[in-house]
Structure 1
């Protein structure tokens, strides 16, 4: 192996490590749902290359309204899946889609795009 091959190999390993860190170990933006006067926990989520915020904390036994605003036309983000709650919903571009839930069990419940590339979590306490 010459110096150029070693440099390319080390650079490739470093980039692979960076990608793994970003998707699995980087800190995520966590937001606690705000309760409205009617007692519904509401959160606005922007969908643009990912979910922002991507970790949402809510209280169990209280209704939750997630307002997904899709600020892009990327085909990956056109569908939302929340398998633990039986939700499969289309997210039209540049529109807000409301998802209403009543979480009964504490835990961490993942949501993804239809392709599984964009990820977020609903943390029920």
Structure 2
């Protein structure tokens, strides 16, 4: 009986450590640089259970856009919101929805789903 208690304690400590790592650990996020072509740049973010990549990098001074490729039709991900740009686009109206990003100065533009549960950002540098 004593061995069962020790085993349960060890399993409990391992589970607590995994939960703490999941919520508080630093996780690497996928980042993608936009493709520059014909005096413009474009990046594609796939919407499928979240945003992939969650970070897009645009080059300063080159007109930029981010295309959202909608593959998940859950209610939460049906909109993409850029608060700082005043953008709230419905992604369900078409397969690819384009958001133009100002690249005149360096900075970050955070975006989220309509319920603010999934997040991403566009970095201009």
- Shorter-chain TM range is 0.7 to 0.9
Quote the Cα distance in structure 1 between the aligned partners of 2:18 and 2:102.
41
Alpha-carbon distance between aligned partners in 2 of 1:51 and 1:92, rounded to the nearest angstrom: 15
So what's the TM-score if we normalise by structure 2? Answer: 0.82
Contact 1:71–1:93, Cα closer than 8 Å, also in 2 = no
Determine the structure 1 residue equivalent to 2:56: 56
How far, CA to CA, are the matches of 1:113 and 1:33 in structure 2? 21
Deviations for 1:37-75, whole angstroms, at most 9, x for unmatched residues?
1x1110111000111111111122321111101101111
Whether 1:90 and 2:90 are equivalent positions in the alignment is yes
RMSD: 2.2
Unaligned 5+ runs, structure 1: none
Greater shift, 103-112 or 6-15, is seen at 6-15
Which residue of 2 is the match for residue 29 of structure 1?
Answer: 30
Distance 1:48 1:93, change over 3 A: farther
Q: How many residues align?
A: 121
Partner of 1:10: 13
1:45–1:16 CA distance, 2 compared to 1 (3 A): same
Q: State the shift of 1:93 in Å.
A: 7.1
2:103 aligned partner: 103
Q: Residue 113 in 1 paired to residue 113 in 2?
A: yes
Q: Which residue of 2 aligns with 1:68?
A: 68
Cα displacement (A) at 1:106: 1.3
User: What's 1:78 paired with?
Assistant: 78
CA contact (8 A) 1:62 1:103 kept: yes
